Structure 1
Amino acid sequence: MNKFMPWGALTLLSCLFLAVFLLLPIFKVILASLQNADGALTLEGFKIFFTEGDYLQGLFNSLFLAAAVTVVTVLIGVPLAYVTVYYDFPFKSLLSILPITVVIIPELITTQSWLLVFGYNGFVTQMLLELGIRAPRFYGWTGLIFVMAITYYVHVYMASLAALRSFDVQLEEAAQSLGRSPISARIRTMVPLMAPAILSSALVVFTLVLGNFSIAIILGPSVPLLSVMTYNSFLSEVGLNPLMQSALATISIVLVGLILFVQKRFVGKSRFEMRQGRSMKALPIKGAWGVAAYVAVLALLAVTLLPLGLVLAGSITDSTGPVMHWGHFTLKHFANVADYGVEIIVNSISYAFSATVLGVVFGTTASYLIIKKKNALTEALDFMVMLPMAIFGTVLGIALSQTFNAGLIPLTGTPIIMVLALTLRRLPFSVRNASANLFNIPDSIEEAAISLGTSPMKSFRKVVAPLMAPGITSAAVLMWAMTMAELASTLLLYHPSQETLPIKIYNLIDSDLMAQASAYGVVMIVLILTPIFLVTKFTKVELFK
């Protein structure tokens, strides 16, 4: 019994929590996809999916979009990483902030900002109309691929950057000494090292695009996509038998599960490690190709960071309904936020704060149990905390709504289910960040404290937790930023009195009120940036190293 307490008991409680609030909802969704209105087993939902053209078209469109965006992100991210590692040029340090953009610029804001440029009332669209030129339609495939590629290429860039920085240039020199040309030697030695990182990050991008909701629902009204069709099925089946929403959700789970299986089974095993190697010295950029590469890097960096400036410009631009009066400035949109948006801001802060606290406490505990206190249940716990990575936000929202709409734990319509959705959705990021430096903490430190009479729990609080502080701080900031910007799961769960900033921004964009949406967008970005600024200013934690 002493061996079971306290870590075995904590592992059991953690597993029970996830079993009730994560596994059970997923199981109920899968079960609902196999039941008709009378509760009898049926495959009617899957039959409809595979026989009706709209659903199959949605599946095909989703796979094609994911493939197209993945290819574009690889074509952007890999060359950018190569130029960053092997060449020295002015403003190179600015590239280090690219990972931060993934956190501080929500997908919703990125989408909104480009609509301010190329949307029906965007300033480029209006400028071309004044010249008698009808701008190409940004909604649909063009906007979807462009915005998603700009949003997700950073994942490929970071993975490629890490692989290139670990490359041992002595391998290339050895290949040249055996008669290979410089180009051939570099390709033959570098490609095997980079391939696993590129493939792994490409699969991440593929999965993110498949499950994307924020960009898809705004830019793809004319393109049937699986995530949006799942949401629409949910709306059409409210109060009815949730057959199609459950079938679509189940297909989404299976689809992402297959991708993760491929990643773990094939890509995850193809890894190379370099030890005590010699990195290549960065060379100054010169020549026509060098100048072209430098200009392309700066242009890409500008395009990545442009949404921040565009949203700010839109928030102070005068408007009449959906019509933006570019060049005419006003603060009335912020006055509107002050008059009508205080409750929305309070909702966002309270939900995100609650989810951050819950996610960090649970994530820290789970990571410690999984890494330092292995037992018969920790493998199951590790699987469950990572499971939300395989679930679309819309699917999680449907699962929670179906499970806790009534019964012993009626949570639908309460703030609790909003916090629960936010916590579960981003829990994997909290666990992975909290565990970042656990492997470097020797067990002997904790054992020494226990040998001096300190209880296991107290030794964790006094000895291990302070050493985990950088990872815990990073997890807290990441949880805050991501939960503040979450839309997909909460849009299916919120009550009108529980509207959050992402939901409000989406509703305004859907009504084509871009200026008002921009004002709320600026508020959301400020709320996301504030803790990041405070943490980096007053602590020594390198959040995005």
Structure 2
Amino acid sequence: MNRFFPWGFLSVTALVFLAIFVAYPILGVLFRSFIGENGAFSLDGFETFLTRGKYLEALMNTVILGLIVTLTCTILGVFLAFVVARYDIPFANIVLLLPLSVLIIPELISAQSWVMVFGNNGLITNLFKALGLPFPRFYGWFGLIYVMTLTYYVHVFLAALAALRGFDHSLEEAGQSLGTAPFTTYFRVVFPTILPAVLASGLIVFTLVIGNFAISIALAQRVPLLSVMTYRSFISELGGNPTMQSTLATVSILLVSGVLFLQKRYLSKRNYQMVAGRSTPRIKLRGWKALLISGGAGLIIVLSLMPALVVLMGSFTVSRGPVMYWGQFTLEHYVRIWDFNLAVIGNSLKFASLATGLGVCFATLVSYLLVKKRSVFSPVLDYLLLLPLTISGTVLGIALAQGFNSGPIVLSGGLLMVLAMMVRRLPFGVRNASSNLHNISNSIEEASVSLGVPPVRTFFNVVLPLMAPGIAAAAILTWVTTVAELSASVVIYQAGQETLPIQIFRLISSDLMARASAFGVINMFIILVPVFFGIKVMKVRLFSS
């Protein structure tokens, strides 16, 4: 029994928690998709899905959108990574802000900002109208591809940049010494080496696109998409038979799971390593090449950071209903928040704090159990931790709402909100918390135990302080993503539990963009403060893992 306590017991406890709050609701969704209106086994849901054109159209649109955005993100990300890694451009340091822009600017706010610029009542749209010029409709395919590309290309950029910086320049020189032209060498030597990293990040982009809710609900007015249809099915059938909403959720789960399986299978067969490589020297560009390449990279950076500026300006702009009077400034929107909507800010802070605290504690424990105290329970624990990655936030919200609205465990309200926020980010929290565990020698812990210090006290006194950088990164990233969480919380929230993203979503749906901008600025500020404190004060490396 002494060998079982404490780590075996804690592993079982973690397994029970994940089984109840992750596996059970997800399996419940899958099970309910095979139950008909009479409560018996039925394939009616899948038959309806396959025979009604709107469902197949939504599935096809989702896959096509995922493929197109993955392609555009790959082109944009690889281009920018190649420019930063190979050329000495004047604003290279600003590129370091790009990963932070993804954290600081939530997806919903990004979509909102571009609607304020190119939407039906947008700044550029009205400018073209005033000049008597036609302007293409932003809603639909163009808007979806445009906004999602600028939101997700950073994932490919980071992967490609890391691969290019780790590339051994001597291989490239060897190819050119054999008479191969530099351009040909890039495609025959350099790009095949970085291809696994690019494809892996591209598959991540694909899963993010097909599971996206915030941008899709804002821009896909005439383009049926699976995530939006799943949400609307749940809202319209709330209290009725859940077969169709469960079927849509099941299709989403199978789609994402299939992509993740392909990613894992591909990466297991292709792995390149550089040993003692020599980094590639950066080239100073001149003339028209410098203007073209630097201008292209600069435009990408400006467009990536522009949503924050647009939302900031919009929050101080006078508005009457949906009409915004650009150039006329006011503090009215912030005064209104102070007088009537402080509870919304309080809800965001309360739910995000609880989800972050509980999530980081659980992630820290599980990462230690998986890295340092592996047992017969570890493979199952590993598998259960992957389940939140196989579902979108909307599906997770539906799974939790269906799973705990009746039965032995009934949860609702704020507790369910915190649970959804916590579970959704667990895989990323575990990954960050364990980022430096592999570098901690087991001999340090063994020495403490050999001196008579109990294992649990050794963990708190010796191991935990060494894990601090990874835990801090996990806490910041968990906080940032929970404060911006919309897709799961919008499904399960109740009256009086609105958070900042939910309030922004409701205002955008009512075309009250200026008021939504004020909430958006507050949301970004709440996100930015811990990120700035972690990077500048605590010297946390958020993207080291």
Give, in whole Å, the separation in 1 of the partners of 2:181 and 2:187.
Answer: 10
Q: How does 1:163-182 map to 2 (within 5 A)?
A: 163-182=163-182
Question: CA–CA distance in 2 between the matches of 1:184 and 1:123?
Answer: 44
Report % sequence identity.
51
5 Å-filtered alignment, 1:305-324, equals 305-324=305-324
**Residues 538 and 181 of structure 1: is their aligned pair in 2 closer, same or farther, counting only changes over 3 Å?**
closer
Does residue 524 of structure 1 match 2:523?
Answer: yes
1:159-308 matches, cutoff 5 A: 159-308=159-308
Amino acid aligned to 1:3: R
Partner in structure 2 of residue 34 of structure 1: 34
Q: Structure 1 residue 174: deviation in Å?
A: 1.7
Distance in 2 between residues matched to 1:502 and 1:486, nearest whole Å: 7
- For 2:234, the aligned partner's letter is F
Find the counterpart in structure 2 of residue 78 from structure 1: 78
Match of 2:423 in 1: 424
Equivalent in the alignment of 2:10? 10
- Decide whether the 8 Å contact of 1:67 with 1:206 is kept in 2: yes
* Structure 1 position 134, deviation (Å): 3.1
- Partner residue in 2 for 1:156: 156
SS across alignment from 1:319: strand
Where does residue 508 of structure 1 map in the other structure?
507
Are 2:22 and 1:22 aligned? Answer: yes
Q: What is the rounded CA distance, in whole Å, between the counterparts of 1:480 and 1:499 in structure 2? A: 17
Distance in 1 separating the partners of 2:539 and 2:323 = 46
Deviates more, 1:187-196 or 1:323-332: 187-196
> Once the 2 structures are TM-superposed, how far is the Cα of residue 400 of structure 1 from its aligned partner?
0.4
Could you tell me which residue of structure 1 aligns to residue 97 of structure 2? Answer: 97
CA distance in 2, matches of 1:55, 1:459: 55
Q: Which amino acid aligns with 2:205?
A: V
| AA at the equivalent of 2:104 | I
Deviations 1:92-142 (A, max 9, x none): 111112111111110011001111101121111111111122321111111
Indicate if the aligned counterparts of 1:312 and 1:522 stay in contact, CA closer than 8 A: yes
1:401 maps to what in 2? 401
Cα distance in 1 for residues equivalent to 2:60 and 2:291:
40
Cα distance in 2, alignment partners of residues 181 and 146 from structure 1 = 35
Deviation at 1:382, TM superposition (A): 1.3
Which residue number corresponds to residue 457 of structure 1? 456
Matched ranges for 1:351-366 at <5 A: 351-366=351-366
SS at 2:496 equivalent: helix
1:148 counterpart letter in structure 2: M
**Distance in 2 (alpha carbons) for counterparts of 1:268 and 1:492:** 36
1:124-162 deviation per Cα after TM superposition (whole angstroms, max 9, x unaligned):
111111112232111111100000000000000000001
Counterpart-to-counterpart distance in 2, 1:396 and 1:274 = 40
What secondary structure sits across from 1:325 in the alignment? strand
Amino acid across the alignment from 1:428: P
Which amino acid is 2:444 matched to?
I
**Structure 2: distance between partners of 1:165 and 1:212:** 31
Specify the SS of the correspondent of 2:74: helix
CA distance in 2, matches of 1:201, 1:485: 22
Q: Does 1:538 align with 2:537?
A: yes
Shift of residue 376 of structure 1?
0.5
Task: Look up the equivalent residue of 1:184 and give its one-letter code.
Answer: T
Please give the alpha-carbon distance, in whole angstroms, between the structure 2 residues aligned to 1:320 and 1:375. Answer: 62
**Residue 378 of structure 2 corresponds to which residue in structure 1?**
378
* 280-289 or 309-318, larger mean C-alpha shift: 280-289
Q: Deviations over 1:41-96 (max 9, x none)?
A: 00000000011100000000000000110110011000110010011121211111
Letter of the structure 2 residue corresponding to residue 541 of structure 1:
V
Contact 1:212 1:392 in 2 (8 A): yes
Q: Partners of 2:319 and 2:268 in 1: how far apart?
A: 51
Contact 1:100 1:544 in 2 (8 A): no
Cα deviation for residue 539 of structure 1 reads: 1.4
Q: Residue in 2 aligned with 1:440?
A: 439
Amino acid across the alignment from 1:56: L
Taking the aligned partners of 2:182 and 2:60, their CA distance within structure 1 comes to 42
Q: Which amino acid aligns with 2:530?
A: P
- What is the DSSP-based 3-state SS (H/G/I as helix, E as strand, rest coil) of the residue aligned with 1:90? coil
Per-residue deviation, residues 213-239 of structure 1 (Å, max 9, x unmatched): 000001002110000000011012111
Write the distance in 1 (CA, Å) between the matches of 2:127 and 2:186.
47
Q: CA RMSD in A?
A: 1.0
Give the whole-Å Cα distance in 1 for the aligned partners of 2:39 and 2:387: 27
What amino acid maps onto 1:510 in structure 2? Answer: S
**2: CA distance, partners of 1:134 / 1:267:** 47
Tell me the distance in 2 between the aligned counterparts of 1:328 and 1:322.
Answer: 15
2: CA distance between counterparts of 1:252 and 1:268? 25
In structure 1, give the amino acid aligned to 2:494: H
- Report the equivalent of 2:333: 333
For residues 432-457 of structure 1, give each alpha carbon's deviation from its aligned partner in whole angstroms, at most 9, with x where no partner exists: 11111111110111111111111111
SS in 2 for 1:328: strand
Q: Which amino acid aligns with 2:311?
A: V
Q: TM-score, normalised by structure 2?
A: 0.98
Instruction: Give the aligned residue type for 2:40.
Output: A
Answer yes or no: is the 8 Å Cα contact 1:196–1:268 preserved in 2.
no
AA aligned opposite 1:396? L
Cα-to-partner distance string for 1:345-401 (whole Å, 9 max, x where unaligned): 000000000000011001111111111100001111111112111111111011000
Q: Shift of the alpha carbon at 1:410?
A: 1.3
- Secondary structure of 2:425's match? helix
Give secondary structure in 2 for the equivalent of 1:283. coil
Q: SS where residue 284 of structure 1 aligns?
A: coil
Post-superposition CA distance 1:176-227 (Å, at most 9, x none): 2333233323322112211101110110001000000000001002110000
The residue matched to 1:488 in structure 2 has which SS?
coil
Q: How many angstroms apart in 2 are the aligned matches of 1:268 and 1:312?
A: 45
Paired AA for residue 79 in structure 1: F
Alpha-carbon distance, 1:341 to partner: 1.2
**Cross-structure match for 1:466:** 465
